[in-house]
Amino acid sequence: MLEKTGKDKLRIVIADDERPARAFLAGALRGFADVEIVGEATDGAEAIRLIEETRPDLALLDLHMPEVDGLNVARLVRKDCLPLVAFVTAYDEHAVRAFELSAIDYLLKPVERARLRETLDRAWLLLGGEEAPVAAAERLDAAVAEYEAETRPPYLERLPIRQREEITLLPVNEIAAVVAEGELLHVTTIHNERHTFRYRLKDLEARLDPVRFVRLGRGALANREMIRCVAALPNGNYTVTMSNDQRLDVSRMQSRVLREEMLRL
């Protein structure tokens, strides 16, 4: 494997918000001669920065870090910097099923040395293969999507948005509306600030509390508490006006639902 890749050591980044777990994993890795730890991150945002700066071969990501978790790290890292990924988690049958057949791996806490060795050997094997990085990234995205579909993660309280070299953590209660434009989402806040990032609207909708947010049609979500009025236009279409004066198109069916909600005493 070493001859095939041309490498002497597997360069690794570790990300875990719990210091004991991070230290345990780092200590185990240092026991292997073919490993070099190039960075340790205490949270997801730091993990993204480290991965893009150091370009490791493998990232060991805690699945359940607060704010920017391991799944979002995998999503937010620039695709040209995305390494092989192994998620580290407490026992989780959904993670096992989603990740075991993918071009990634998973490790169960507490991590056993023999199992860690298997992950490293698998990384060497994949690095020596001929699969294009884009295909590997697509398989990673598919595994993450499958895991999220199985586990129904908790509703977001803060939305991580990648903007150039920074990760903005936008409080969900400050979001007025989200509008889709192709593969881009445009988020407008209650203060009329705008953020744009690449994500699917239906995936974001699944992470937002439906008590707080409502779908206006195929291309928009709105904060229910921010809706000021629902109005019919002369051409038969409908619009909603938000309390920040933003106007959004709304489907006829959803306009009926909203008006019934707003008129109910």
Q: Which CATH number fits domain 158-263: 3.30.70.1560, 3.40.190.10, 3.40.50.1220, 2.40.50.1020?
A: 2.40.50.1020
For residue range 63-100, list pLDDT tens digits in order.
Answer: 888 778 888 888 889 888 989 999 898 766 666 666 65
Higher pLDDT, 211 or 40: 40
Least confident of 105-109, 119-123, 186-190, 255-259: 255-259
Higher pLDDT, 3 or 170: 170
Contact 185, 201 (CB under 8 A): yes
Q: What is the pLDDT of residue 1?
A: 39
Q: What is the pLDDT of residue 32?
A: 96
- Residue 84's closest CA among 117, 108, 119? 119
Least confident of 4-18, 57-71, 170-184, 248-262: 248-262
Q: Which CATH number fits domain 2-151: 3.40.50.720, 3.20.20.10, 3.40.50.2300, 1.20.950.20?
A: 3.40.50.2300
C-alpha gyration radius of the chain: 22
Residues in the chain: 265
For residue range 181-240, list pLDDT tens digits in order.
Answer: 988 999 999 999 999 998 889 889 988 998 899 989 889 999 999 998 888 888 777 888
- Residue 178's closest CA among 235, 236, 231, 226? 226
